[in-house]
Amino acid sequence: MVRLRRDSALAETRRLVKSITPREHPDLSPGATMYGLVLGSTTEDTTVIDIASGAVVRWRVPWPAGVDSDLTLFGVAEAVIADEPENDDLAQPEAITVADLPRHLGTFKGRQIRQWLEAITAPADGPLFGFRGPSHPYWEFRGERPSTAVIVADRGPQLLRRRDDGTTWVRFGWERDDVWLLCEDPHAIRALDATRESVLSGKELATALGYRPSYVLATLSRPMDGHCYKLCTGLLPRG
């Protein structure tokens, strides 16, 4: 009976996704309703694929103090754009404020996810986000480059725990660079905690996550001490 309920819920989510009218661009007008496929979610923001247009959008969600995001990978969520959406951040041009907490509608699976991810995969055309190193001055951004990247790693990824400060990092090779990103993916952090290991890669990483990570979701943080930092907010399967 449980399997039947799960299959029914998945079928209902698929019907919802198919019913959404396609658009060339996201509707970012105040009060508009957006349906997003969740790629990564923290209390700072939630990265989604706008189901109507296939574009990447970063929802700035008014999570209450002390409340963590409950949105999960490949969940379908509904959010209403705020009356004052504040979508003019030159460091995060995809970011927009939503009026309230997004509503989880179900989990989506299938070939369509792979198609969406392949369409937004970052090209290997230089250093990540256009600059080398872990951060860049906020005042130098001009809104010309995206602040999110879905990456197919050339090598890796590895998940690592630094013993000196307890932070979790994702390491991978991309465009001849050895990239290290501070990990803020809650699922990946919990998976590493559960193994009690300091390094995971290959089959061990796939076992800990419950899937083989095919993509790294990289994002730029909001400014901290005047700089925006490169982060990993998701390790994603193919779909």
Q: What is 2-109's CATH topology?
A: OB fold (Dihydrolipoamide Acetyltransferase, E2P) (2.40.50)
In this prediction, residue 5 carries a pLDDT of 57
In this prediction, residue 126 carries a pLDDT of 87
In this prediction, residue 1 carries a pLDDT of 38
Residues of the chain with CATH 2.40.50.140: 2-109
Residue ranges, the chain, pLDDT below 70:
1-7
Q: 32-91 pLDDT, tens per residue? A: 999 999 999 999 999 999 999 999 999 999 999 989 999 999 999 999 999 999 889 999
In this prediction, residue 4 carries a pLDDT of 40
3-state SS string over the chain? CHHHHHHHHHHHHHHHHHHCCCCCCCCCCCCCEEEEEEEEECCCCEEEEECCCCCEEEEECCCCCCCCCCCCCCEEEEEEECCCCCCCCCCCCCEEEECCCCEEEEECCCHHHHHHHHHHECCCCCCHHHCCCCEEEHHHCCCCCCCEEEECCCEEEEEEECCCCCCEEEEEEECCEEEEEEECCHHHHHHHHHHCCCEEEHHHHHHHHCCCCCEEEEEECCCECCEEEEEEEEEECCC
Q: What's the whole-model pTM score? A: 0.93
